[in-house]
Structure formats: C-alpha cells, structure tokens
Amino acid sequence: MRTIQLTDRQKKIIDIVKREQPITSEAIAEKLSLTRATLRPDLAILTMSGILDARPKVGYFYSGKTALNFFSDQIKNIKVSDIKSVPVIVDEETTVYDAIVTLFLEDVGTIFVVSDGLLTGVVSRKDFIKSAIGGVEINKVPVGVIMTRMPNIVVVESHESILTAAEKIIEHEVDSLPVVEKCEDNGKMGYKVVGRISKTNITRVFVDLAHND
C-alpha cells in the first residue's frame, strides 16, 4: 500500500469540484479543455482514494479528505498481522547467559519468555545490563529471575492496527511488543506468543508508504 502522489491535473480537478460541486465529468472536462476519456483515469483515482465522491446523475463532490487523510486511513487499515515478525522466545529456565547469547545472535532488543508454551515474561537489554552490573551469576541464574513478569507486560493482538501498536510502544516506552493469541490452559487464561512487532517494523511501513513506485 502506498500513498497517492497527486498530479497537477488531479489537483486542478479537485479545485474545480471544490468551487462548483456538484459538477459533472463533462463540465470538468470542458473547463480543462480535455475530453471525458482523458479525465476518466484521474477521476477514478480521486474517487477510489475518497478525495472525491461521485453520485450518479448528480456529479462529483469534494469529500473533504486530502492525500494526508488517505495516508492516515491506510495506516489505520494495516493490521499487526500484516507486518509482524518472528518472535525470539526462550523458556523461563534458560540461563541468563544463554538468553544473552540468543539476544545477540538474533540481533533483537527484547526476548519473550514462556513457560509451558504461554507468555510469562519479557527481558530486555537493559535487564541484562542491570544483572551483569548487579553481580548476577549469569551462568547459573535462570532468566525467569530477572525478567518483567505478567501481568506487567504490554501485548498486542494480530487483529489490532499498527497505529494501536505504535501508540502502545510510545506510551510504555518499549522497543517491541509480543503479538499474542488468547488461550486457555487447565482452566487458566493465558497468551501464546505468535509474533513480534517492533519500532523497526512500524518504521518500515511508514517509509514504504511515503514513497511511490
């Protein structure tokens, strides 16, 4: 999905519609000294983008939307499931040392911790640094000892928009969020980690949407 880069002719069409709405395609073509066939692709683009509204036997109206509005709509319509990446997961009993090795091998800032397949915690680079400074025996202590535990973990679900995910990342000042599915284990509700969404994932989307082919 990419934003629309309006041409000069499309901008002129919008100005005409704003001034004289409702206005037919014939009238627009006449004002621009062009044929209806020539204008048809431009009108289709402006209508599909939501900038113009077409009503049969009436004409075109200006919807009030702009290309920026359209960009905003695109962002809101992209789901976490569309851009999530593979999560890096370790078990609670994994030693801090092995978790650190995993962190660097996978080149991530956060690792998700599970027990019996369900999310129980999150551990970040900061947590590892604090442990090292604090003299934790990283070869013996399990990562479960130093992690941030549920329910103090911010999560996001696949069906949520990336805008919601971005807001959670900013509000809680974290680098990434676990993408989860709710599930039940022995009568107890929990979360299964099915993905990861990070600042990098979201930034890539914004960069992609800001450029045209």
Quick: pLDDT tens for 143-196. 999 999 988 999 999 999 988 998 899 888 899 999 999 998 777 789 999 999
The structure tokens 């299964």 sit at: 192
d(CA 109, CA 106): 9
State which H helix or E strand residue 196 sits in. Answer: strand 188-198
Helix (H, G, I), strand (E, B) or coil at 79: strand
Do 14 and 46 meet the contact criterion of CB atoms below 8 Å apart? yes
CATH fold match for the domains 8-75 and 80-208: no
pLDDT of residue 203: 84
pLDDT over 90 for what percent of the chain? 49
Answer for the pair 88, 179: CB distance below 8 angstroms, yes or no: no
Which residues of 12-66 form beta strands (DSSP E)? 52-55, 59-62
Give the model confidence (pLDDT) of 21-67 as tens digits. Answer: 899 999 999 999 988 888 888 888 788 777 888 888 888 988 876 65
Residue 25 phi/psi, 5-degree rounding, is -65, -35
Asked whether the beta carbons of 124 and 109 are under 8 A apart, the reply is: yes
Selection from 101, 147, 98, 157 nearest residue 126 by Cα: 147
- The two three-digit tokens of residue 116, written as one number: 């019996």
Q: Check whether 1 has a pLDDT greater than 60.
A: no
Q: Domain spans of the chain?
A: 8-75, 80-208
- Assigned fold of 80-208: CBS-domain (3.10.580)
Question: In CATH, what is the architecture of 8-75?
Answer: Orthogonal Bundle (1.10)
